[in-house]
Chains A and B, each alone.
Chain A
Amino acid sequence: MTNTVATPAAEAPKGQSTPLLLLLKLRTFIALIAVVVFFSLMAPNFVTVANVVIVSKHVAINAFLAIGMTFVILTGGIDLSVGAIVGLVGMVAGALVLYGVPLEMLGVVIYPNVWEVIGIALLVGTFVGFVNGLLITRMQVAPFIATLGMLYVARGTALLMSGGSTFPNLIGKPEFGNQGFPVLGAGTILGIPLSIWLLLVVAGIAAYVATKTPFGRQIYAVGGNERAATLSGVNVNRVKLTVYMVSGFCAAIAGLVVASQLVASHPASGETFEMNAIAAAVLGGTSLSGGRGTIGGTIVGAFVIGVLSDGLVMMGVSEFWQMVIKGVVIVGAVILDQMQRRIARNARLG
Chain B
Amino acid sequence: MSLRKTLKTVSLGLLAGIALTASALAADGKLIVIITPSHDNPFFKQEAVGAQAKAKELGYEAAQEAVGAQAKAKELGYEAAIYSHDDDANKQNDLIDSAIAQKAAAIILDNAGADATVAAVQKAKDAGVPSFLIDREINATGIAVTQIVSNNYQGATLVAESFVEAMGEKGNFVELVGKESDTNAGVRSKGYHDVIDQYPDMKMVAQQSANWSQTEAFSKMESILQANPDVKGVISGNDTMAMGAMAALEAAGRKDVLVAGFDGSNDVRDAIIAGKIHATGLQPAFRQAQYAVELADKFLKEGKTGQPEKISMDCVLITKDNAAKLDNFALKD
**Residues of A in contact with B (beta carbons under 8 Å apart):** 43-46, 48, 50-51, 54-55, 57-58, 159, 163-166, 168-169, 185-186, 258, 261-264, 266-271, 310, 313-316, 318-320
Q: Is the CB of B215 within 8 A of A314?
A: no
Chain B residues touching A, range: 20 to 34
CB of B53 closer than 8 Å to a CB of A? no
Distance in angstroms between the alpha carbons of A164 and B228 in the assembled complex: 34
**Which residues of chain B in 9-29 are interfacial with respect to chain A, using CB atoms and an 8 Å cutoff?**
none
Cα A54 to Cα B214 in complex, Å, equals: 17
A264-B243, A268-B213, A313-B220 known; A51+B40 contact, CB < 8 A: no
Of B45, B209, B214, B250, most buried by chain A (CB within 10 Å of CB) is: B214
Chain A residues lying within 8 Å of B33, measured Cβ to Cβ, are none
Give the CA-CA distance A185 to B251 in the complex, in Å.
9
- Residues of the B chain whose Cβ atoms lie less than 8 Å from the Cβ of A163: 39, 45
Which of these, B215, B226, B250, B270, contacts A258 with CB under 8 Å? B215
Q: Which A residues are in CB contact (< 8 Å) with B219?
A: 58, 310
Which residue of chain B lies nearest to A185 when distances are taken between CB atoms in the complex?
Answer: B251
Write the residues of chain B forming the contact surface with A, with a CB cutoff of 8 angstroms: 38-42, 45, 180, 206-209, 211, 213-215, 218-220, 222-224, 226-229, 240, 243-244, 247, 250-251, 267, 270
Q: Are B180 and A320 in contact (CB under 8 A)?
A: yes
- Closest A residue by C-beta to B224: A313
A54 near B222 with CB under 8 A, answer yes
A198 to chain B: closest CB distance in Å?
16
Whether A313 lies near B223 (C-beta < 8 A) is yes
Chain B interface mostly = helix
Interchain CB contact under 8 A, A166 and B42: yes
CA distance in complex: A164, B41 (Å): 7
Contacts A165-B42, A185-B251, A269-B215 known; list 20 others, CB within 8 Å: A44-B228, A45-B229, A51-B223, A54-B226, A163-B45, A164-B45, A166-B214, A166-B267, A168-B267, A169-B270, A261-B251, A262-B243, A264-B214, A264-B243, A266-B40, A266-B214, A266-B215, A271-B213, A314-B226, A319-B208
Task: State A267–B251 Cα separation when bound (angstroms).
Answer: 22
Are B226 and A50 in contact (CB-based, < 8 A)?
yes
- A319 and chain B: residue at smallest CB distance: B209
Distance in Å from the Cβ of A238 to the closest Cβ of chain B?
A: 27
Q: Which residues of A contact B244 (CB under 8 A)?
A: 262
**Pairwise interchain contact B247-A263, C-beta atoms closer than 8 A:** yes
A194–chain B nearest beta-carbon distance, Å: 12
Is B247 within 8 A of A261, CB to CB? yes
**Most chain-B Cβ atoms within 10 A of its Cβ — which of A258, A267, A268?**
A268
